Amino acid sequence: MAEKKTSTLGNVYARERSIIKNVYLWMTAGLGLTGLVAFFIASNPSLMKVLIGNTMGFILLIVGEFALVFYLSARLDKMSQTSAIAAFLAYSALTGVLLSTIFVVYTGVVIYKTFLTTALMFAGMSVYAMTTKRDLSGLGYYLRMGLWGLIIASVINMFFRSAGMDYIISFIGVAVFLGLTAYDTRKIIQMNNQYGSSMDEEEFTKVSILGALSLYLDFLNLFLYLLRIFGRSSK
């Protein structure tokens, strides 16, 4: 068994399939943990009251979430595989705490419909990225600019509170994160290729966690932008 694993780690093409599989397993685990935590808190009125009623605590949770994802992205290569896994799962759980508030704003039907739509769109873009012969690396610059544009537009709209602008931002957000899904999927394949035939088990796990984190964020943001669209349409 150990010899087979060593053989897979030394074979770029066999390792690619294994890494992609691991990435999706970890991403699914992260999303599953986020969903369970969100549903548990949303189902407990006392916990929801504490979460929504404590503004400063809620802000600290948001700051902690951003700090953790930036730390994980920047320091992953220097962390042990155990620490990387623990940090990823901690981030997924923390996101679940914050995401529990959507159950207050949207109905269960809208949330489930949005999740299904997100899963189908995400899967479609992932399959496209893994099968296309096109070089998607050039998309990175435009997608990053689009992401910064989304952030700036969202901050500005916090002051103007324009429903029409929010609707436009949501559609642009869907387009940007669909593009990032394809780009990040391709990036995982490129990361695997960069290691050549020299990758150990710890590096394999770290690449899988980093890929899972990227796709987890793409899926989550795609879901949230679609939720705003479906939520508006259902009113």
Enter the DSSP assignment of 106: S
Across the chain, mean pLDDT equals 87
Tell me the C-alpha to C-alpha distance, in Å, between residue 32 and each of 24, 56, 165.
12, 27, 32
For the cut 80, the answer to whether the pLDDT of residue 27 exceeds it is yes
Q: What is the mean pLDDT of residues 38-48?
A: 90
Domain ranges of the chain: 2-233
Tell me the C-alpha to C-alpha distance, in Å, between residue 195 and each of 34, 150, 157, 191.
31, 34, 43, 7
Q: Provide the pLDDT for residue 2.
A: 47
Buried b (16+ CB within 10 A) or exposed e, 143-154: beebbeebeebe
Sort 159 into a burial class: Cβ within 10 Å, 0-12 / 13-18 / 19+: exposed
> Tokens 């990040």 identify what position?
184
* Cα separation, 9 vs 4, whole angstroms: 9
For the cut 90, the answer to whether the pLDDT of residue 235 exceeds it is no
Q: What is the mean pLDDT of residues 208-225?
A: 94
Q: How many CA atoms lie within 13 A of 11 on its CB side?
A: 11
Q: Per residue in 130-180, pLDDT tens? A: 888 888 888 888 999 999 999 899 989 888 888 889 999 999 999 999 999
pTM reported for the whole predicted model: 0.90
74: its two tokens: 């920047």
DSSP H or E segment with residue 150: helix 139-160
**CB count in 10 Å sphere of residue 116:** 10
Length of the chain: 235
